[in-house]
C-alpha cells in the first residue's frame, strides 16, 4: 500500500460526501435538512472576534467577518437570505451556528494539529460548524454551500469531520510576464477558495529569456516587467509601466479581498536570475554574459535588492515571501551568499520567512555556505534537485509544484491528478514528487512537505494571450488539484459529475463572464422596423426580444435613409445593460459603416474586457493588445458580422471566427502574435470575450447605421 492511501485511511470511503474536495462524513440516517427552513446565521459571541493566527496571512479575518461573507454567498448561490447575529448559545432552532472548539483535534497528514479543520453537524435542529479556528469554520461553510447545491438545497443529517493534509495548497500566476488586473486576481482567489485552496503565489517580475548571442543593446530593450508601483525615490525608474502595475493601494485591496475568503497572496520578486527588469534599471548590475542575471560580486547588487525589498516588504501581509532565485548559472558560492544575505535581511526587516526555487542543493564542498535551512525550497525540476535526498533528508522544508503539461493554450493535465501507478509513484498528492519512481517520494507524514502550488507561466509574454486565458487554463485544474492538495480521494468520474453542478454558483466571481438567460439567445435587438418606441428624456428604449429583458437605450436617431435603422455617430450612444460574455458565444451585428474619422482607430463596440475595432482591419482589442484580422468592413455597404468563439477546454483549440457574410461568407481566425524569445513570431489562436456595453460615442470615431445586434451562448 502506498503512503498516500495510508493518509486517506482517516477517510473511510464508505462514508464520504462527494464534493470538491471530498468530505469525510458519518451519516446519522433518516433525513435531510432543507436550508430554506433556516432563519439565521448565529456567530458564537465568545469567538466572534477571534482570528486564526496560525495560517500564512497576517491579516486573518475574524469569525464574524467570515460569517458575513458566508451570508452573502448563501444569498448569491442559493437565494437564501439569512441574518447574521451573535449569541452564546445555539439553542435557537433553525440556525447555522458558527463556533470554535477542539482546536487540537484536527491533524494534518504529518499528524500535526492544523487550524484549518472543522466539524459540520446537521440535524433536525439546524446546522453547526465548529472550527479549529475561524479559517476552519470558513472551509466548513464551503462544504455547506457545495452540499446544498449538490443535494437540491438540503444537507443530510450527520457529521463531517474534516481537515486538510497539507497547509500550503494553491496556484502560482506569472504576473511578471503578463499583467493581470487587480479585479481578476481577486476573482481568481474567490474561485480557488471555493475548492479550499489557500495560497495564490504572484510572480511579480520577470523577462523574456535572454540568449547569449543577443547584443547588449537588444537585451536592454527586451520585454521585462516589474509590477509593483511605488512613487518612492528609492525605486524611481525601476518600473516604467504604471498602467500595468499594482499600486500599494491595489495590492492592499487584492490581499484583503483574498484573505476575506481564506486565500493568502504570496508575493515573489525574482533575483538574481530572471532579473532583466532590474538590470534595465541599473545596467551595471548585469552579468555581461547574460544581462538577465545579476552580477552578485558587484558591490551594489545586494544593496540594490535590499533596497527593493525594504520598499515593498511593508506592503506584504504573508508570513513568507519568495525571492525566486532559480535558473542562476553563474556560480553556486555567490548564489548561496546572496540567498543567505537576503534571508537574514528579510527576517531582520520584517520577521518574514523566505522561499526560493530549488536551484543549488546543499553540497559538502560548499561547507557552511550552503543555503541555510530556514529558507524553504520550492521544488520545480529534477534536473535541479531530488527533493527527498537533497532537501528533505537535510531538514529543509519543501513545497512541490506541478509542471505545466500542455502548451498553448495551457491547461493543468488533470488526468495526472486522478491516475497513477501505486507500484511506481502512486496517485498525485503533495508528497508525490515522482509519479514514476516511488523511491524518490517521502512518506505522506513527512512534516517537511509543506504542500503544493501549481504554476502558470507566460513565457511568451503579454500579447500571447488575453487575461482570461489564465482562468481557462485553471478552470478544471484548480478543483482537481484542490481535492488532492486537501487530501481528498475524489475519482475522475465523481469529479466530472459534480464540477458542472457546482460551477455556475461559485461565489465572488464571474470569471467566465456568464450572463443569465432563459434560452441560448441572450439578447436580440432589432432596429429594422419603424414601429413606435418609448422615449423618455431623450432616451429611446430598444427592446430585447430574447425574453431576458436586457433592454438597451439610445439617444441616436432612427433613420429610413438606406433602410430603417439607427443612425450611429460620435454624437450619440447605444448602451446595453450588459458588459462582456465569455466563451462560447456568437455575436452578430448588422451594420453599415459610412465613414471613419481615423481609419486606423474606430471602435464599433465597447465591452468590459474588449473592444471591437476597425484599424482598418477588423480588430479585437483586449488586455492591451490589438488582435487583427486581415479583412476589413467595406464602407457604405450593409454587412452582417458575426464573431464565433468556442470552448477551448473541450477541444484544446480556441477558434474564434469572424465571418463577413455580407461580403463573401469567408471566416477568419483571430490569431495572436507570440513573440518567441523576442526574436521571431508565431501565430496562435486566441479567444476573446464579446464586447457588449456600448456603441457610438465621442471616442468611437465612425458614422453609419445599425439594424440589429444579437448574442447567443452557442458557437454557431
Ligand X SMILES: *[C@@H]1O[C@H](CO)[C@@H](O)[C@H](O)[C@H]1NC(C)=O
**Tell me, what DSSP letter sits at residue 203?**
E
Q: What residues between 73 and 92 interact with ligand X by CB under 6 A?
A: 85, 87, 89, 91-92
Q: What residues between 417 and 456 interact with ligand X by CB under 6 A?
A: 428-430, 432-433, 437, 439-440, 443, 445, 452
Q: Decide whether 215 or 395 has the Cβ nearer to ligand X.
A: 395
Q: Decide whether 92 or 102 has the Cβ nearer to ligand X.
A: 92
Query: In angstroms, what is the minimal distance from the CB of 257 to ligand X?
Result: 20
Site for ligand X contains 519 (CB under 6 A)? no
Query: In angstroms, what is the minimal distance from the CB of 348 to ligand X?
Result: 19
Site for ligand X contains 359 (CB under 6 A)? no
Query: In angstroms, what is the minimal distance from the CB of 32 to ligand X?
Result: 24
The residue from 403, 407, 518, 545 that contacts ligand X (CB under 6 A) is 403
Site for ligand X contains 683 (CB under 6 A)? yes
Site for ligand X contains 179 (CB under 6 A)? yes
* Euclidean distance between CA atoms 467 and 622, whole angstroms: 8
The residue from 298, 372, 503, 647 that contacts ligand X (CB under 6 A) is 298
Site for ligand X contains 111 (CB under 6 A)? yes
Query: In angstroms, what is the minimal distance from the CB of 58 to ligand X?
Result: 20
Site for ligand X contains 405 (CB under 6 A)? no
Q: Decide whether 31 or 419 has the Cβ nearer to ligand X.
A: 419
Strand runs labelled E in 222-368: 224-226, 228-229, 246-247, 264-268, 286-287, 290-294, 320-322, 353-357
Q: Which residues contact 310 (CB under 8 A, 6 or more apart)?
A: 234, 349
* Euclidean distance between CA atoms 301 and 339, whole angstroms: 12
Site for ligand X contains 244 (CB under 6 A)? yes
Q: Decide whether 25 or 47 has the Cβ nearer to ligand X.
A: 47
Query: In angstroms, what is the minimal distance from the CB of 485 to ligand X?
Result: 7
The residue from 311, 476, 590, 609 that contacts ligand X (CB under 6 A) is 590
> Which of 228, 207, 206 minimizes the C-alpha distance to 218?
207
Site for ligand X contains 247 (CB under 6 A)? no
Determine if the peptide bond prior to 127 is cis (ω within 30°).
no
Query: In angstroms, what is the minimal distance from the CB of 501 to ligand X?
Result: 26
Site for ligand X contains 406 (CB under 6 A)? no
> Which of 685, 681, 625, 692 minimizes the C-alpha distance to 658?
685
Q: Decide whether 218 or 223 has the Cβ nearer to ligand X.
A: 223
> Which of 466, 459, 407, 410 minimizes the C-alpha distance to 208?
459
Site for ligand X contains 44 (CB under 6 A)? no
Using an 8 Å Cβ cutoff, are 647 and 715 in contact? Answer: yes
Interacting stretch for ligand X, rule CB under 6 A, among 188-196, 623-631, 642-650, 689-697? 623-631
Site for ligand X contains 630 (CB under 6 A)? yes
Q: Decide whether 158 or 678 has the Cβ nearer to ligand X.
A: 678
> Which of 418, 419, 417, 422 minimizes the C-alpha distance to 400?
417
Q: In which order are the strands placed within the sheet that holds 126-131? A: 16-17, 23-34, 154-162, 118-123, 126-131, 95-100, 40-44, 83-87
* Euclidean distance between CA atoms 482 and 139, whole angstroms: 12
How distant, in Å, are the alpha carbons of 270, 282, 322, 385 from that of 427?
A: 32, 47, 28, 21
Site for ligand X contains 673 (CB under 6 A)? yes
> Which of 467, 472, 468, 465 minimizes the C-alpha distance to 683?
465
Q: Decide whether 131 or 165 has the Cβ nearer to ligand X.
A: 165
- Reduced 3-state DSSP string for 90-149: CCCCCEEEEEECCCCCCECCCCCECCCCEEEEEECCEEEEEECCHHHHHHHHHHHHHHHH
Query: In angstroms, what is the minimal distance from the CB of 150 to ligand X?
Result: 26
Q: Which residues contact 352 (CB under 8 A, 6 or more apart)?
A: 313, 316, 318, 319, 320, 321, 346
> Exposure string (b/e) for 168-196, b if CB count within 10 Å is 16 or more?
bbbbbbbbbbbbbebebbbbbbbbbbbbb
User: And the C-alpha cell for 137?
Assistant: 469554520
Site for ligand X contains 616 (CB under 6 A)? no
Determine if the peptide bond prior to 518 is cis (ω within 30°).
no
The residue from 8, 18, 38, 287 that contacts ligand X (CB under 6 A) is 287
How distant, in Å, are the alpha carbons of 1, 2, 357, 440, 450 from that of 443?
A: 12, 9, 22, 10, 13
> Which of 494, 413, 487 minimizes the C-alpha distance to 452?
487
Site for ligand X contains 297 (CB under 6 A)? yes
Strands 95-100 and 83-87: unpaired
Using an 8 Å Cβ cutoff, are 566 and 530 in contact? Answer: no
Q: Decide whether 51 or 298 has the Cβ nearer to ligand X.
A: 298
**CA count, 13 A, side-chain hemisphere, 701:** 15
Query: In angstroms, what is the minimal distance from the CB of 440 to ligand X?
Result: 5
Site for ligand X contains 478 (CB under 6 A)? no
With CB under 6 A, what is the number of residues at the site for ligand X? Answer: 56
Query: In angstroms, what is the minimal distance from the CB of 244 to ligand X?
Result: 5
Q: Decide whether 370 or 386 has the Cβ nearer to ligand X.
A: 386
* Euclidean distance between CA atoms 198 and 187, whole angstroms: 14
The residue from 671, 677, 697, 713 that contacts ligand X (CB under 6 A) is 671
Q: Decide whether 296 or 506 has the Cβ nearer to ligand X.
A: 296
Using an 8 Å Cβ cutoff, are 63 and 43 in contact? Answer: yes
Interacting stretch for ligand X, rule CB under 6 A, among 144-152, 189-197, 495-503, 669-677? 669-677
Q: Decide whether 22 or 77 has the Cβ nearer to ligand X.
A: 22
Site for ligand X contains 665 (CB under 6 A)? no
Site for ligand X contains 58 (CB under 6 A)? no
* Euclidean distance between CA atoms 547 and 441, whole angstroms: 57
Q: What residues between 454 and 473 interact with ligand X by CB under 6 A?
A: 461, 463
- What angle do the packed helices 477-486 and 182-194 form, to 10 degrees? 50
Site for ligand X contains 393 (CB under 6 A)? no
Q: What residues between 90 and 109 interact with ligand X by CB under 6 A?
A: 91-92
Site for ligand X contains 491 (CB under 6 A)? no
Site for ligand X contains 391 (CB under 6 A)? no
Residue 456's SS3 state is strand
Query: In angstroms, what is the minimal distance from the CB of 699 to ligand X?
Result: 4
Q: Decide whether 231 or 537 has the Cβ nearer to ligand X.
A: 231
CA dihedral 421, 424, 430, 431 (to 10 degrees): 150
Site for ligand X contains 246 (CB under 6 A)? no
Binding mask 634-663 for ligand X (x = CB under 6 A): ----xxx--------------------xx-
Site for ligand X contains 395 (CB under 6 A)? yes
Residue numbers of the site for ligand X (CB under 6 A)? 6, 85, 87, 89, 91-92, 111, 179, 223, 243-244, 287-288, 295, 297-298, 379, 381-382, 386, 395, 400-403, 428-430, 432-433, 437, 439-440, 443, 445, 452, 461, 463, 590, 601, 623-625, 629-630, 638-640, 661-662, 671, 673, 675, 678, 683, 699
Amino acid at each position: 500500500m502506498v503512503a498516500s492511501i495510508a493518509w486517506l485511511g482517516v477517510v473511510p470511503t464508505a462514508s464520504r460526501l462527494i464534493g470538491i474536495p471530498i468530505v469525510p462524513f458519518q451519516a446519522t440516517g433518516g433525513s435531510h435538512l432543507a436550508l430554506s427552513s433556516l432563519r439565521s446565521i448565529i456567530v458564537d459571541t465568545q469567538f466572534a472576534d477571534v482570528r486564526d493566527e496560525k495560517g500564512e496571512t497576517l491579516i486573518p479575518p475574524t469569525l464574524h467577518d467570515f460569517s458575513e461573507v458566508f451570508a452573502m454567498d448563501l444569498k448569491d448561490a442559493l437565494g437564501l437570505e439569512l441574518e447574521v447575529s451573535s449569541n452564546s448559545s445555539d439553542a435557537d432552532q433553525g440556525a447555522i451556528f458558527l463556533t470554535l472548539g477542539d482546536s487540537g483535534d484536527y491533524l494534518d497528514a504529518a499528524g500535526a494539529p492544523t487550524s484549518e479543520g472543522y466539524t459540520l453537524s446537521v440535524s433536525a435542529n439546524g446546522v453547526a460548524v465548529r472550527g479549529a479556528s475561524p479559517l476552519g469554520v470558513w472551509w466548513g461553510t464551503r462544504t455547506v454551500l457545495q452540499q446544498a447545491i449538490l443535494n437540491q438545497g438540503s444537507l443530510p443529517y450527520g457529521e463531517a469531520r474534516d481537515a486538510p493534509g497539507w497547509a500550503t495548497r494553491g496556484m502560482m500566476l506569472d504576473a511578471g510576464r503578463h499583467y493581470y488586473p487587480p479585479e481578476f486576481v481577486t476573482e481568481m482567489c474567490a474561485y480557488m477558495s471555493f475548492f479550499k485552496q489557500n495560497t495564490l503565489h504572484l510572480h511579480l517580475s520577470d523577462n523574456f529569456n535572454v540568449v547569449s548571442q543577443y547584443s547588449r543593446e537588444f537585451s536592454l530593450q527586451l520585454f521585462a516587467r516589474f509590477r509593483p508601483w511605488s512613487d518612492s525615490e528609492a525605486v524611481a525608474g525601476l518600473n516604467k509601466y504604471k498602467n500595468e502595475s499594482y499600486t500599494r493601494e491595489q495590492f492592499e485591496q487584492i490581499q484583503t479581498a483574498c484573505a476575506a475568503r481564506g486565500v493568502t497572496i504570496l508575493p515573489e520578486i525574482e533575483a538574481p536570475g530572471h532579473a532583466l527588469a532590474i538590470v534595465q534599471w541599473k545596467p551595471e548590475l548585469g552579468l555581461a554574459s547574460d544581462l538577465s542575471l545579476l552580477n552578485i560580486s558587484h558591490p551594489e547588487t545586494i544593496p540594490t535588492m535590499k533596497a527593493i525589498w525594504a520598499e515593498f516588504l511593508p506592503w506584504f501581509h504573508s508570513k513568507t515571501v519568495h525571492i525566486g532565485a532559480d535558473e542562476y548559472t553563474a556560480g553556486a558560492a555567490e548564489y548561496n551568499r546572496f540567498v543567505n544575505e537576503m534571508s537574514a535581511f528579510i527576517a531582520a526587516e520584517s520577521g518574514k520567512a523566505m522561499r526560493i526555487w530549488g536551484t543549488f542543493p546543499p553540497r559538502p564542498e560548499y561547507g557552511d555556505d550552503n543555503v541555510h535551512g530556514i529558507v524553504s525550497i520550492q521544488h520545480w525540476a529534477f534536473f535541479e534537485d531530488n527533493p527527498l535526498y537533497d532537501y528533505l533528508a537535510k531538514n529543509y522544508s519543501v513545497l512541490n509544484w506541478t509542471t505545466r503539461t500542455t502548451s498553448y493554450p495551457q491547461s493543468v493535465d488533470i488526468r495526472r491528478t486522478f491516475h497513477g501507478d501505486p507500484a511506481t509513484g502512486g496517485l498525485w498528492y503533495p508528497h508525490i514528487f515522482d509519479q514514476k519512481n516511488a523511491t524518490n517520494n517521502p512518506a505522506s507524514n513527512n512534516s517537511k512537505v509543506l504542500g503544493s502550488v501549481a504554476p502558470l507561466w507566460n513565457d511568451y509574454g503579454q500579447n500571447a494571450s488575453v487575461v482570461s486565458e489564465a482562468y481557462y487554463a485553471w478552470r478544471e485544474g484548480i478543483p482537481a488539484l484542490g481535492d488532492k492538495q486537501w487530501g481528498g480521494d475524489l475519482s475522475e468520474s465523481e469529479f466530472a459529475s459534480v464540477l458542472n453542478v457546482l460551477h455556475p454558483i461559485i461565489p465572488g466571481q464571474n470569471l467566465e463572464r456568464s450572463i443569465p438567460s432563459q434560452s441560448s439567445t441572450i439578447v436580440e435587438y432589432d432596429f429594422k422596423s419603424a414601429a413606435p418606441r418609448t422615449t423618455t428624456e431623450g432616451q429611446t428604449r430598444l427592446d430585447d426580444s430574447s425574453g431576458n429583458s436586457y433592454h438597451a437605450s439610445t439617444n441616436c436617431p432612427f433613420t429610413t435613409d438606406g433602410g430603417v435603422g439607427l443612425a450611429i455617430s460620435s454624437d450619440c450612444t447605444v448602451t446595453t445593460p450588459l458588459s462582456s460574455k465569455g466563451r462560447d458565444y456568437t455575436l452578430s451585428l448588422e451594420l453599415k459603416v459610412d465613414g471613419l474619422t481615423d481609419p486606423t482607430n474606430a471602435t464599433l463596440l465597447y465591452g468590459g474586457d474588449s473592444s471591437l475595432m476597425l484599424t482598418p482591419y477588423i480588430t479585437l482589442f483586449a488586455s492591451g493588445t490589438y488582435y487583427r484580422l486581415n479583412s476589413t468592413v467595406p464602407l457604405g455597404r450593409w454587412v452582417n458580422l458575426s464573431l464565433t468563439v468556442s470552448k477551448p477546454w473541450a477541444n484544446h483549440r480556441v477558434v474564434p471566427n469572424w465571418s463577413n457574410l455580407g461580403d463573401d461568407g469567408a471566416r477568419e481566425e483571430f490569431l495572436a502574435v507570440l513573440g518567441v524569445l523576442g526574436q521571431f513570431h508565431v501565430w496562435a489562436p486566441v479567444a476573446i470575450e464579446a464586447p457588449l456595453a456600448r456603441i457610438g460615442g465621442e471616442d468611437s470615431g465612425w458614422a453609419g447605421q445599425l439594424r440589429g445586434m444579437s448574442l447567443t451562448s452557442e458557437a454557431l
